[in-house]
Homo-oligomer: A and B are copies of this chain.
Amino acid sequence: MAAPVDFLTYVDDHQDQFIQRLATAVEIPSVSGEPARRPDVVRMAKYLEEQLQAYGVETKQVDLGTHVMDGQTLPLPPAILGRIGNDKAKKTVLIYGHFDVQPAELSDGWSWPPFTLTRDEKTGRLYGRGSSDDKGPVLGWVNVLEAHHQLQKPLPVNLRFCFEGMEESGSEGLDDLILEEVKKGKESWFDGVDCVCISDNYWLNTRTPALTYGLRGISYYKVNIAGPARDLHSGVFGRMVHEPMTDLITLLSKLVDPQGNILVPGVDEMVPAADEEEKKLYTALDYSIEDVELSAGGKIALSDDKASVLMGRMRSPSLSLHGIEGAFYGAGAKTVIPAKVAGKFSIRLVPPQTPENVDPLVISYLETEFKKLGSKNTFSIENLHGGKPWVEDHKHWSYEAARRATEAIYKQTPDYTREGGSIPVTLTFAEALGVNVLLLPMGRGDDGAHSTNEKLDISNYIEGTKLLGTYLYEVAAGTKA
Binding site for B on A (CB under 8 A): 216, 218, 220, 222, 226-230, 232-243, 245-247, 249-250, 252-253, 256-260, 292, 296-302, 309-310, 312-313, 316-325, 327-339, 344, 346, 348, 373-377, 384-385, 419-422, 450-451
Contacts and interface: CB of A to CB of B under 8 A. Distances in A.
Contacts of A246: 256-258, 260, 320-321
A302 B239 contact: yes
A256 B245 CA distance: 10
B240 A309 contact: yes
A234 B333 contact: no
Contacts of A258: 242, 246-247, 250, 373-375
B329 A325 contact: yes
A439 to B, nearest CB: 14
A234 B318 contact: yes
Contacts of A241: 292, 296, 298, 300-302
A348 B234 contact: yes
B234 A300 contact: no
Contacts of A331: 325
Residue of A321, A333, A339, A376 contacting most chain B CB atoms (<10 Å): A321
A229 B296 contact: yes
A328 B296 CA distance: 18
Contact of A228 (B237, B242, B298, B322): B298
A348 B335 CA distance: 10
Give the number of times this chain occurs in the complex, counting copies. Answer: 2
A323 B317 contact: no
Contacts of A332: 384
Given A253-B252, A296-B232, A300-B242, A337 B324 contact: no
Contacts of A325: 329-331
A330 B70 CA distance: 13
A324 B322 contact: no
A238 B309 contact: no
A301 B263 CA distance: 30
A452 to B, nearest CB: 9
Nearest to A242: B300
Contacts of A384: 332-333
Contacts of A259: 374
A344 B252 CA distance: 16
Contacts of A256: 246
Residue of A299, A384, A450 contacting most chain B CB atoms (<10 Å): A299
